[in-house]
């Protein structure tokens, strides 16, 4: 090896002494903050690339312990800003969530440092971000995939990619832009002349292709033209109380939705809004089982009769076992009463159900506030119902937290949903960043599926979103509201819905292969280091 080559190789590996321990910690925290500011309610979406770049540079060429620590600090700062709103449940809950979930980012940091020694390391590192999102969206207890990189891109030029490469693919593109930028920084520090110029040109071309591709593709469509139009009413009845007391006294939330349904129908019959073919109520618009409880049943039945059309009710239903409950979307006909139902599949751990309930309740009495144990449903969120004047229609339903789960969305669309509705009760989080984060995810799902989405919440943020993510109507928080909109009936699947699972699996496989290759590549180094230590021990003896 020549002297110049050796010097360049040495410079390519970051010197461990360049940064003090305090500086490294500060940069890790800063990277997490940059990435977090890309999410709602801040919505400075370009910063996510800088956050990814910062973590990538910090873990490159350092020991796994340093990389693990950098990733952990990144995760703590990142999660404190993005999901710190969980403090409204209890401050200890927020602290536990942040310090525990940051371990995923610690693992991401350690593995990113490992693959940084491979050729084409920006590609392997970007795939690791997908692997991390894949895992923490599933483990433990169904996961918590609320802070995926793609969820920052609702308003960016990359939004045009959603119908093609799905949420997973957009996360990969965002991560690759960040790791590619990190590579450009490394090359700028270690190379000169033509090599530096080529690196800068490669990164610029990648950015141009990603941004330009997103802009060009946004106008394309993969679903059918409108075959019919169904007018759907939306009711946001408001709730009494705030935080954990958001429902106030039992049955008041249902009475509020009856009142607002009366208002909606008065406006419709006066010609102020279109007369609905059916009405959407939010999740938990009945806080007591409307089938078993006589008083609640009467309120819902009265609402349906006043409207003269079916209501898609968000109900808390008892069962299937003792002291168990389900969050249910229930079709309620003004003549025949309750009909088709869908039970929410993705439940919030420690919010709707308690893992290790028998063991934890005696240790943490506060968990009793969760109430009866939630039981998830099993089938896709598609109700085949008879809509007056339109006949049999497949109505898609997503309930609140389910918006974050790709498989749940894909199975709903794959099940033939012709129109898509979202029922949500995030009244507990009114006034926090959770509301705008969920709204951004909903917009992304509209783009990804190329379906218009009507959202009804109890008092948070309801409205109507077009298939390209444009917001047509949006309510104010903590106020009663209602309207009706004409929703196109659509058929067909976007590439994201058809191949999204395959894209995700392929990127996960790439990440796993990268880990295996990096571990194998580093194996001889460990063997040699062990031999050196053994020889040194013999010499000293």
**Of 283, 352, 452, 504, catalytic:** 283
Q: Does 541 reside within a domain?
A: no
Domain-terminating residue out of 493, 508, 524: 493
523 and 438 in a common domain: no
Q: Is the distance from CB of 132 to CB of 104 less than 8 angstroms?
A: yes
430 and 288 in a common domain: yes
408 and 285 in a common domain: yes
CA distance 395 to 412: 9
The string of pLDDT tens digits covering residues 7-17 is 444 444 444 44
409 and 265 in a common domain: yes
Q: Is the distance from CB of 430 to CB of 88 less than 8 angstroms?
A: no
What CATH number is given to the structural domain containing 264? 3.60.110.10
pTM of the complete model: 0.92
Q: Does 158 reside within a domain?
A: yes
Residue 368 catalytic? Answer: no
180 and 272 in a common domain: no
Q: Find where tokens 């009793």 sit.
A: 368
What does the buried/exposed string (b/e) look like for 382-415 if buried means 16 or more CB atoms within 10 Å of the residue's CB?
bbebebeeeeebbbbbbbbbbbbbbbbbbbbbee
**Of 133, 344, 448, 452, catalytic:** 344
pLDDT at residue 524 in the model = 65
366 and 385 in a common domain: yes
pLDDT at residue 17 in the model = 46
pLDDT at residue 436 in the model = 97
148 and 41 in a common domain: yes
Q: Does 198 reside within a domain?
A: yes
Separation in Å, CA 238 to CA 113, 197, 243, 254, 457: 49, 59, 13, 10, 8
Q: 178 is in which domain, residue-wise?
A: 3-220+499-536
Q: Does 29 reside within a domain?
A: yes
CA distance 146 to 98: 13
314 and 214 in a common domain: no
361 and 504 in a common domain: no
400 and 368 in a common domain: yes
The string of pLDDT tens digits covering residues 486-497 is 999 999 999 999
pLDDT at residue 527 in the model = 58
Q: Does 167 reside within a domain?
A: yes
Residue 452 catalytic? Answer: no
CA distance 261 to 257: 6
Residue 283 catalytic? Answer: yes
66 and 204 in a common domain: yes
195 and 154 in a common domain: yes
State which residues of the chain have pLDDT below 50: 1-17
Q: Which two tokens stand for residue 348?
A: 């919030």
Report the number of distinct structural domains present in the chain.
2
pLDDT at residue 400 in the model = 95
**Of 133, 352, 400, 452, catalytic:** 400
């Amino acid at each position: 090896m020549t002297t110049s080559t050796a010097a360049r190789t040495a410079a390519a590996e970051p010197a461990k002494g360049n940064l003090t321990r305090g500086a490294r910690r500060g940069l890790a925290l800063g990277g997490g903050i940059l990435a977090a500011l890309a999410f709602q309610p801040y919505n400075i979406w370009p910063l996510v690339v800088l956050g990814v770049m910062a973590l990538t540079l910090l873990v490159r060429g350092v020991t796994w312990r340093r990389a693990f620590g950098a990733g952990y600090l990144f995760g703590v700062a990142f999660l404190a800003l993005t999901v710190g709103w969980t403090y409204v449940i209890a401050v200890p809950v927020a602290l536990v969530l942040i310090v525990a979930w940051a371990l995923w980012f610690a693992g991401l940091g350690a593995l990113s440092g490992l693959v940084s020694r491979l050729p084409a390391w920006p590609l392997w590192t970007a795939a690791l971000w997908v692997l991390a999102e894949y895992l923490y969206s599933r483990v433990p207890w169904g996961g918590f995939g609320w802070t995926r990189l793609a969820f920052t891109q609702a308003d960016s030029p990359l939004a045009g990619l959603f119908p093609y490469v799905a949420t997973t693919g957009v996360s990969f593109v965002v991560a690759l832009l960040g790791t590619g930028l990190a590579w450009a920084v490394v090359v700028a520090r270690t190379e000169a002349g033509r090599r530096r110029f080529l690196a800068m040109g490669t990164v610029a071309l990648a950015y141009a292709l990603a941004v330009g591709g997103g802009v060009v593709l946004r106008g394309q469509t993969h679903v059918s033209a409108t075959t019919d139009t169904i007018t759907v009413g939306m009711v946001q009845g408001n709730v009494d109380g705030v935080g954990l007391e958001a429902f106030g006294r039992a049955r008041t939330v249902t009475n509020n939705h009856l009142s607002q349904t009366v208002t909606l129908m008065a406006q419709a019959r006066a010609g102020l809004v279109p007369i609905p073919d059916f009405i959407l109520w939010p999740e938990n618009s009945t806080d007591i089982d409307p089938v078993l409880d006589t008083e609640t049943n009467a309120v819902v039945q009265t609402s349906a009769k006043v409207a003269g059309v079916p209501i898609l009710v968000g109900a808390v239903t008892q069962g299937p076992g003792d002291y168990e409950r389900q969050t249910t979307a229930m079709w309620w006909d003004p003549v025949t009463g309750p009909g088709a139902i869908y039970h929410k599949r993705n439940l919030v751990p420690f919010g709707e159900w308690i893992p290790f309930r028998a063991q934890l309740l005696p240790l943490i009495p506060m968990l009793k506030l969760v109430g009866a144990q939630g039981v998830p449903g099993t089938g896709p969120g598609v109700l085949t119902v008879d809509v007056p004047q339109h006949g049999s229609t497949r109505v898609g339903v997503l309930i609140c937290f389910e918006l974050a789960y790709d498989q749940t969305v894909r199975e709903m669309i794959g099940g033939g949903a012709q129109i898509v509705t979202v029922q949500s009760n995030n009244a507990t989080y009114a006034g926090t960043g959770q509301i705008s984060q969920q709204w951004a995810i909903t917009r992304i799902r509209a783009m990804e599926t190329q379906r218009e989405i009507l959202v009804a919440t109890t008092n948070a943020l309801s409205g109507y979103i077009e298939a390209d993510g444009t917001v047509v109507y949006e309510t104010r928080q903590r106020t009663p509201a209602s309207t009706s909109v004409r929703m196109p009936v659509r058929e067909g699947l976007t590439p994201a819905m058809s191949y999204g699972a395959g894209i995700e699996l392929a990127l996960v496989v790439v990440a796993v292969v990268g880990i295996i290759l990096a571990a194998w590549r580093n194996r001889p180094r460990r063997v040699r280091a062990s031999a050196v230590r053994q020889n040194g021990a013999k010499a000293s003896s």
